[in-house]
Each structure stands twice: as structure tokens, then as C-alpha cells.
């Protein structure tokens, strides 16, 4: 009798766990982006926190309050990229733009938080991007993107990359514009104010 009671109790617990698991996987997410090739990312937990908005078209997250650029030396960043095999020789003009930018005493303060990414492979944020407009000594205008990809949150392995492109007003969005694009990209409303 006692053994039957234990078996029945274990069966009920097992069935309960299976039902909860199935319901978890069948749960429809409100904020989802299709990245192609069957990969999707969900921004539900971030939007529900009230601190983020999610772009359902491209999977970008935007932190409403922004994320300050980490305290990092520009020369260290350049050396890190060179050590990782970043090839500046293909475009020496971009290297000179980046060298000029990192020589500014306030280069970190010029970088504005742009977006974050959610990884389809792991739980959590996989990277942040900061951008700025830079005018060199020749009065040429460029956009500089500094991207921090968090490859391994557990071991805190960060991979940095830089992109430089010619400046064009159509290429750069202010944070408010990115937030509005994200809000309008999803069917379910996202609250702008906390």
C-alpha cells in the first residue's frame, strides 16, 4: 500500500513536470524576431523588465537608459584588434581615422550607446554597439561603430570589433529614433516609460 502511494505520487509529480515543460515550450512569445534559417530570438523578458525595447524586425534590443562605454584605453583596443588578426592593411585610411579618433582625449565620451543583441544560441545579451560621428583633420566625416560581442558570459570573454564608414545622415540613428523604430516593429505594444 505504501509503495503504491509512493509510485502514484511520483507519477503525478512526473506528469506535472512534463506538462509544465510542454507548456513552457509551447508558450507564444510576444516579442520575437526571425533571424532566418529557422533561428529566432525573443525579447519578452527584456521588454517585460521595463528597461528595454525590442525590435521585432532585426532582433535589436535598446536599453532605454543606455549603456555607458566601458573604461577602456583606445590603444589597448587597437592592440587587441591587431592581436586578433584585424587587418588594417586592407584599408589604411580607416586605420588613420581610427588612430585619429583614439588620440582624442574624450573619445569614450563621444561614443553613444546604440543597440544590443540577443543571441539565439545562449541565454542573454550577446553584444553591445556604440557609435559616433568623427571628423578628421581633413574635414572628412566618418561613422565609427565599436562593437563588443560577449562570446562567453561565464568566462567573460569579450571580442571587440570596429567598423568605419563614410558619414551619411541616413546611416546614423539617434537612440530615440531607434527606440521608436523598435516600438513600431512589434504587434504588441511596448511601454516607453518605466
pLDDT in tens, 37-89: 888 899 999 999 999 999 999 999 999 999 998 877 777 777 767 666 666 66
Domain extent at residue 179: 2-185
In a domain, 193, yes or no: no
Q: Determine which of 102-106, 123-127, 135-139, 152-156 has the lowest per-residue pLDDT on average.
A: 152-156
In a domain, 190, yes or no: no
In a domain, 49, yes or no: yes
50: left (phi over 0), alpha (psi -120 to 50) or beta: left
CA distances to 41, 59, 124 from 127, rounded to whole Å, are 14, 12, 9
In a domain, 66, yes or no: yes
Q: Which residue has the higher pLDDT, 16 or 170?
A: 170
In a domain, 192, yes or no: no
Domain count, the chain: 1
| Residue 96 parent element (H or E) | helix 92-103
Amino acid at each position: 500500500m505504501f509503495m503504491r502511494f509512493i509510485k502514484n505520487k511520483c507519477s503525478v509529480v512526473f506528469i506535472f513536470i512534463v506538462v509544465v515543460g510542454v507548456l513552457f515550450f509551447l508558450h507564444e512569445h510576444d516579442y520575437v524576431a526571425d533571424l532566418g534559417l529557422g533561428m529566432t530570438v525573443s525579447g519578452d523578458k527584456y521588454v517585460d523588465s521595463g528597461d528595454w525595447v525590442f525590435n521585432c524586425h532585426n532582433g535589436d534590443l535598446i536599453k532605454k537608459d543606455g549603456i555607458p562605454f566601458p573604461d577602456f584605453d583606445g590603444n589597448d583596443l587597437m592592440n587587441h584588434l591587431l592581436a586578433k588578426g584585424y587587418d588594417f592593411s586592407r584599408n589604411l585610411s580607416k586605420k588613420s581615422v581610427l588612430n585619429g579618433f583614439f588620440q582624442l582625449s574624450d573619445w569614450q565620451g563621444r561614443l553613444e550607446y546604440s543597440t544590443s543583441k540577443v543571441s539565439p544560441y545562449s541565454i542573454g545579451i550577446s553584444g553591445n554597439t556604440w557609435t559616433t560621428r568623427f571628423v578628421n583633420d581633413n574635414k572628412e566625416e566618418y561613422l565609427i561603430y565599436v562593437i563588443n560581442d560577449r562570446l562567453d558570459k561565464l568566462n567573460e570573454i569579450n571580442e571587440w570589433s570596429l567598423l568605419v564608414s563614410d558619414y551619411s545622415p541616413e546611416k546614423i540613428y539617434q537612440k530615440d529614433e531607434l527606440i521608436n523604430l523598435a516600438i513600431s516593429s512589434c504587434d504588441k505594444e511596448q511601454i516607453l516609460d518605466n
